[in-house]
Amino acid sequence: MPSPQPIHLVTGGTGLLGSHIAERLVARGSRVRVLVRSSSETSFLRSLGVELTVGNLADLDSCRAAMNGVEVVYHSAAKVGDWGTWDEFQTGCLDATANLARAAVEANVERFVHISSTSAYGHPKEGGLPVDETAPLGQNLWPIWDDYTISKVECERLLWRAVEIDGLRLSVIRPSWLYGERDRTTVARLVTRLKAGKMPLIGRGDNPLSAIYAGNVADASLLAADDPNSVGEAYNVTSMGSITQREWLDLFADACDAPRPKRHAPYRVVFAVSLALEALARARRQKKPPLITRYATWLMGRNLSYSTAKAETKLGWKPALDYPESIERSVRWYLAEARGESTAKEGITRKLT
């Protein structure tokens, strides 16, 4: 009898990037299993025909059960957003990653692809050369309330220790600011504020913006998983070419038929106001983030870029979609969702290259 087809396990499959990874795996004919919570909305995953297994990354036994027959793990699950308590980041990021890595080592999986973030570098000095994979992790961490960034740093560090101690066959993908279909945070906020005419340019607007379509990151993740020479390697996957804050926001405004941003807000002023809003929100123990956070201000207004040269040369990665097309698709999906139109069966909308 032929051997059963190896399984590709995806975590975070009900989220933005995980759903794109699952979509691409299905498109190429791989057998896909997705670990989901019992309360998760899974209509899109069901439309793909993937295997769903109910569990919780905070539970080691759930992780072990999900590993049965698995050859490759794509770990994209994490606490979403930059707002929350440290306990939430500890459970949703560090504990979850440690449990999944331990289960993967015990199951002797062939590859563990971890979706990290350029935030794992911390807050590098701005204005210099693009940050590449030789840069140290955890640079210039903020003295207070930098929990999201610290969680990204510490998740990577614990996985690299698992490489050294346990022989975990790890590859790391470090995307920047993600957007795409099934994005219910970034795109929703941008469209809402743009249509209301309340989206300012932070600073002059000519700073480089590091933002990446989730489908392009999914492509890089599969390339890394398939490359035997990518064990022990990390890759920045951060942009589809040079673009400024102004150009990026103009594309979003055009896609949702909103006025292009014209008003400017000084970066230092917005950052200071963000800190004050964070302090007030934390004093009130708010569950929802304030209007703007320092992290969001930094993402939008920083003078910093990241090099994708390693992914391009070593993996042969090339963005399949550019900024105009990917932004138009993302906004079209969001507007359809806002109108209550079902997009669960949108399916594979392009041929993979």
Check residue 348 and give its pLDDT: 41
User: Per the domain annotation, does 105 fall within a domain?
Assistant: yes
Quickly state the pLDDT bin for 342 (edges 50, 70, 90): low
Roughly what angle, to the nearest 10 degrees, separates helices 323-338 and 245-255? 40
User: Is 344 part of any domain?
Assistant: no
What domain count does the chain have? 1
Token couple for 306: 């990241």
33-78 confidence digits (pLDDT tens): 999 999 999 999 999 999 999 999 999 999 999 999 999 999 999 9
Instruction: Give residue 150's pLDDT band: very low, low, confident or very high (50, 70, 90).
Output: very high
pTM summary value: 0.94
353 lies in some domain: no
pLDDT at 30 exceeding the cut of 70: yes
| 133: CATH | 3.40.50.720
Is pLDDT of 269 > 80? yes
pLDDT of residue 1: 52
Per-residue pLDDT at 345: 46
Is there a domain that residue 304 lies in?
yes
Distances (CA, A) of 148 to 155, 271, 290, 320: 11, 17, 15, 29
Residue 224 located in a structural domain: yes
Distance of alpha carbon 17 from alpha carbon 132, whole angstroms: 22
Compute the mean pLDDT over every residue in the chain, rounded to the nearest whole number: 94
Measured between alpha carbons, how far is 238 from 137 in angstroms, rounded to an integer? 16
pLDDT at 175 over 50: yes
Given a cut of 50, whether residue 350 has pLDDT beyond it is: no
345 in any annotated domain = no
Q: Is residue 347 part of a domain?
A: no
Percentage of residues in the chain with pLDDT exceeding 90? 93
Per-residue DSSP letter, 69: T
Residue 274 lies inside a defined structural domain of this protein: yes
Q: Tell me which residue range forms the domain holding 255.
A: 7-338
